[in-house]
């Protein structure tokens, strides 16, 4: 089968991945599931993997097939699999978990002590077939196209996970700020609209992104590039600030906004990454303010997101590309030229 593989780390996105001929995976263990990939979302994390940014956090054995937002049709299962059958359409939770360690028992899939992460630590879905496990697959309704839904496997569940944490502290009439209405942000905004009674303020430097935010239910939109952005947001909230901030950019300029625009006891959820946090500890103490990281989400949260999608509350904006166009997608994303999410169709 054909697969898009990373052979060496590079900042040259035009030649980041090579299309190789490799063996098709097979269900060699009782819990294995082999999926014929119909859609694999391209994520900013894929660019970061190509650059070698993840080598400080996980072991990677190159060459490796990338792609961690995967959906398709089950074509082979191990002897112990009972959750899906051959022919089922599924979306795949990003990680393969053991199910027996303490984090798994608590439902914290992303903290499994024995996890494998297709596309990050093992071969992923930028290929014709993907090897995953029965604990990772979620059957899809008959009327859902796996190609269109694939980015929810990471982008969607990550956005939903951050929103779910934020909504636990949001009351009707509170203010929630969404920073960045791009591939993740446009999903997060819809999840926030569907699950909270908060007033939503969307920040993005692109006029078209702010227009999208309005169409998806934002109550207010602001351009954060101006000198008055902080004052404008505080004016909207009568000087109180936002109870919850969900940052889908994660750059230095956005993380620095948190203490300036947060209400007392507020949180700044970091979803996008690449920047840093440079704040005096007193700023956190004075406002009982906190930065909270977001690492994908739980299997059950992907089920909940699929329920919102099936109900029509969350719409995913996608564009499709062939496997041979994979480096073009990487370049486009690097230059901010992709609206919504790009989906590879092997």
Q: Residues 196-223: what's their mean pLDDT?
A: 96
Two tokens, residue 313: 């509350």
Same domain, 180 and 283: yes
| CA angle (301, 269, 238) in 5-degree steps | 120
**Cβ count near 327 (within 10 Å):** 18
Domain that holds residue 273: 159-293
Helices (H), the chain: 44-51, 102-105, 146-149, 155-167, 185-195, 207-215, 229-236, 252-255, 258-261, 281-287, 299-311, 326-334
Nearest to 263 by CA among 242, 246, 281, 245: 242
Closest Cα partner for 35 from 93, 79, 114, 80?
93
Which of the four pLDDT bands, split at 50, 70 and 90, describes residue 337?
confident
- Same-domain pairing of 195 and 229: yes
Question: Model confidence over 236-291: pLDDT tens digits?
Answer: 999 999 999 999 999 999 999 999 999 999 999 999 988 999 888 888 898 899 99
Domains: count for the chain: 2
Mean pLDDT of 66-73: 97
Do 97 and 10 fall within a single domain?
yes
Q: What is the CATH number of the domain that holds 172?
A: 3.40.50.720
DSSP state of 54: G
In tens, the pLDDT along 81-106 reads 999 999 999 999 999 999 999 999 99
Beta carbons within 8 Å of 216's beta carbon, 6+ residues apart: 181, 186, 189, 190, 193, 315
212 pLDDT above the threshold of 90:
yes
Measured between alpha carbons, how far is 28 from 132 in angstroms, rounded to an integer? 11
The reported pLDDT for the residue numbered 91 is 97
Whole-number pLDDT of residue 143: 85
Examine the domain organization and report whether 189 and 84 are in the same domain: no
- Mean of the per-residue pLDDT values of the chain: 94
Q: What's the confidence (pLDDT) of residue 141?
A: 86
CATH of the domain at 333: 3.90.180.10
The 10s digit of each residue's pLDDT in 16-52 is 999 999 999 999 999 999 999 999 999 989 999 999 9
DSSP 248-281: SS--HHHHTTHHHHEEEEEEEEE-S-SS-----H
CA 127, CA 94: separation in Å to the nearest integer? 15
Where does the pLDDT of residue 142 fall: very low under 50, low under 70, confident under 90, or very high at 90 and above?
A: confident
> In this structure, are 128 and 174 located in the same domain?
no
Domain identity same for 14 and 136: yes
Q: Quick check: 73 pLDDT over 90?
A: yes
Same-domain status, 172 and 148: no
């Amino acid at each position: 089968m054909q697969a898009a593989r990373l052979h060496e780390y590079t900042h040259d996105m035009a030649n980041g991945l090579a299309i190789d001929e490799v063996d098709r995976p097979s269900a060699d263990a009782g819990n294995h599931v082999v999926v014929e990939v119909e859609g694999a979302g391209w994520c900013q994390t894929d660019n970061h993997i190509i650059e070698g940014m993840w080598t400080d956090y996980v072991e990677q054995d190159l060459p490796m097939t990338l792609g961690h937002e995967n959906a398709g049709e089950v074509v082979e299962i191990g002897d112990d699999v009972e959750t899906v059958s051959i022919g089922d359409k599924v979306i795949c939770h990003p990680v393969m978990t053991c199910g027996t360690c303490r984090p798994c028992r608590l439902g914290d899939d992303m903290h499994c002590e024995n996890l494998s992460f297709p596309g990050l630590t093992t071969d992923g879905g930028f290929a014709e077939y993907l090897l995953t496990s029965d604990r990772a697959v979620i059957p899809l309704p008959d009327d859902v196209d796996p190609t269109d839904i694939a980015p929810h496997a990471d982008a969607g569940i990550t956005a939903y996970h951050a929103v779910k944490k934020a909504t636990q502290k949001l009351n009707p009439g509170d203010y929630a700020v969404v920073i960045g209405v791009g591939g993740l942000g446009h999903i997060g905004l819809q999840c926030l609209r569907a699950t909270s009674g908060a007033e939503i303020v969307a920040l993005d430097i692109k006029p078209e992104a702010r227009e999208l935010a309005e169409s998806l239910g934002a109550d207010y939109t602001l351009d954060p590039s101006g000198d008055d952005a902080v004052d404008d947001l505080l004016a909207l909230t009568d000087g109180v600030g936002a109870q919850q901030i969900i940052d889908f950019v994660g750059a230095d300029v956005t993380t620095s906004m948190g203490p300036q625009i947060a209400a007392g006891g507020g949180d700044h959820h970091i979803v996008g990454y690449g920047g840093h946090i440079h704040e005096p500890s007193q700023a956190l103490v004075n406002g009982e303010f906190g930065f909270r990281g977001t690492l994908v989400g739980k299997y059950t949260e992907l089920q909940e997101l699929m329920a919102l999608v099936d109900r029509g509350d969350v719409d995913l904006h996608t564009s499709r590309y062939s496997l041979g166009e994979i480096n073009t997608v990487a370049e486009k994303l690097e230059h901010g030229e992709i609206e919504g999410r790009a989906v590879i169709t092997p």
